[in-house]
């Protein structure tokens, strides 16, 4: 059985490709959440004399990482019924 296509990618029979719209949303949503956080938090932190880089780092730690890990855990739970990411 041939598990490759014309460009050499390995196809897994259990993996379903999501739509183009979902790909775009999953690509842009973390960035939009980070932007919203920065727009809200930057003026507050600037009043406390913190540089903009601190706001960006806080956005990554408190918005980007939890969102991406949470989505992966959600997908793992949807696949296996458990909150794990080894099947993703």
Please list the residues that pair with 86 across neighbouring strands. none
The pTM of the whole model exceeds 0.95? no
Give 44: exposed, middle or buried? Use CB within 10 Å, 0-12, 13-18, 19+: exposed
Q: What is the pLDDT of residues 29-81, one digit of tens each?
A: 999 999 999 999 999 999 999 999 999 999 999 999 999 999 888 888 887 77
């Amino acid at each position: 059985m041939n598990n490759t296509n014309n460009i050499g990618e390995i196809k897994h029979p259990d993996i379903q490709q999501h739509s183009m719209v979902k790909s775009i949303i999953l690509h842009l949503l973390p960035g939009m959440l980070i932007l919203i956080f920065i727009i809200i938090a930057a003026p507050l932190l600037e009043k406390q004399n913190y540089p903009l880089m601190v706001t960006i780092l806080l956005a990554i730690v408190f918005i980007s990482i939890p969102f991406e890990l949470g989505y992966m855990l959600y997908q793992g739970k949807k696949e296996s019924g458990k909150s794990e990411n080894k099947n993703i």
